[in-house]
Amino acid sequence: MHMYMMPNHGMPGCPPGLEYLTQIDQLLIKQKVELIEALAGFESNNKYEIRNSMGQNVFYAVEENDCLTRQCCGPLRSFVIRVLDNYGQEIITIHRPLKCMSCFFPCCLQELEIQAPPGNTVGYVIQQWHPFFPKFIIENENREAVLRLHGPFCGWSCLPDVDFEILTMDEISIGKISKQWTGLLREAFTDADNFGIQFPMDLDVRMKAVMIGACFLIDFMFFESNN
């Protein structure tokens, strides 16, 4: 496994630890396959490797919650996901509260809070109600809407890849979050998925961090199997 050891130095106006995100316009997020989950259906904490376009590991992400929450709430569960760099330093913290989820009842819409570094909120992912299409608003730290995220019908597609478009508030496409096909056996017996994120190179680095959080929310909402 190739690892990219990022220089540990600050940049003006950039949250500590996110300096590398200023240099890239795409990321690959690979969920690690858990053997106990594949064989017994016992839900474990999700773990992810976040790689650059050359396949080098640049970050790791680990879900935190308790066993009862995982088994009883399934993909609806609340979580804290901690994103670590290759030095083991936590650079992004993602919080998801426990809320119900339904296409037809907009009483409890999903949301995330993204912090970078931990304790410093940089943005939110807020679900918008729609009976058929997944729609989200991306907000900055001041709760101002800055981007939109739109997915396909009911979050799924018959095509191998499923794309969620990243749009400006004027509905101009600037990138996407893609769920990528991982093969029949892996799709059938595990909920381990691959995702790609594409965004403009000059996008605010805080919003790039928020897009990582949005990718995890999409995984749980639409592609995490319910045991």
pLDDT score of 77: 82
Query: Average pLDDT, stretch 163-171?
Result: 95
pLDDT, mean over the chain: 83
pLDDT score of 126: 95
For 134-169, the DSSP string reads -EEEEEETTS-EEEEEE-SGGG--SSSSEEEEEEET
Domains defined for the chain, CATH in brackets: 21-224 (3.20.90)
The percent of residues above 90 in pLDDT, for the chain, comes to 52
pLDDT score of 108: 73
pLDDT score of 188: 46
pLDDT score of 203: 96
pLDDT above 70 for 140: yes
pLDDT-derived band of residue 74, with 50, 70 and 90 as boundaries? Answer: low
State the Cα–Cα distance between residues 196 and 202, nearest whole angstrom.
18
Read off the pTM: 0.85
Kindly give the residue spans of alpha helices, DSSP state H, lying in the chain. 35-40, 67-73, 184-189, 205-218
pLDDT score of 40: 47
**What confidence tens digit (pLDDT) does each residue in 85-136 have?**
988 999 999 999 877 665 556 667 889 999 999 999 999 999 998 878 899 9
